[in-house]
Amino acid sequence: MRRFSYLQDPAAIYRLSFERAREACDLSHLPAELHVVALRLVHASARPQLVERLAWHGAPVSAARRALAAGAPILCDVRAVAVEIRRERLPAANPVLCHIADPEVAEEAARRRITRAMAAVERWGGRVEGAVVVIGNAPTALFRLLERIVGEGLRPASILAFPVGFVGAAESKEALLDVAREIGLDVLALRGTDGGAALAAAAVNARFAGGEG
């Protein structure tokens, strides 16, 4: 068997990876509570430049931690986010909910000619109130959530917004920041077209679920 020289110890790999992530990015412009989340995003993506595009309103980390400690659910737009959240680290066996694959959601979306992500957000019902909402894929999910927040007066505890793509992703995150400033929501978003389920779950798996990684 041909042998290659590479680091094999899991603990050493983890430690060195975080050390290099810290060296690669400047967190000085961020509030202290966002440092570990930003570091986790860099660690998960190997893209230090993401730090410069993080935007927030209020104290999304503190708000999410309080909500989770009190037993609030985590609402996800897609299963790729939900399955990556490390449930064993959540402080109160918090339910992680995602309805994107529900047959009723697909039927409703087809009937109304809307995205399944929009129909899934509607299926959250009143559970949006006081929840931690994590959007890691669909801009339409974030737009529909904002419509419900404004139209129904719902107030999530914290929103983590990482929708990705060339149609609506950047716009949905700017809309979130606008609404957050208008009515006082605690939110964290990655500006621009970048995002994705891995980054959204990484944010939860940092301070939100307790611990660095």
Q: For the chain, which residues make up each domain, given as ranges? A: 53-209
pLDDT in tens, 20-32: 999 999 999 999 9
In the chain the first and final C-alpha atoms are separated, in Å, by 34
Residue 43 among the catalytic residues = yes
- Render pLDDT for 151-200 as a digit per residue (tens, 0 to 9): 999 999 999 999 999 999 999 999 999 999 999 999 999 999 999 999 99
SS3 14: helix
Q: Which of 35, 43, 57, 99 is catalytic?
A: 43
Question: Are 73 and 203 spatial neighbours (Cβ–Cβ below 8 Å)?
Answer: no
Tell me the CATH class for 53-209. Answer: alpha beta
Read out DSSP for 18-77? Answer: HHHHHHH---TTS-GGGHHHHHHHHHHHS-GGGGGGEEEES-HHHHHHHHHHTT--EEES
pTM of the model: 0.93
Round to whole Å and give the CA distance between 51 and 24.
10
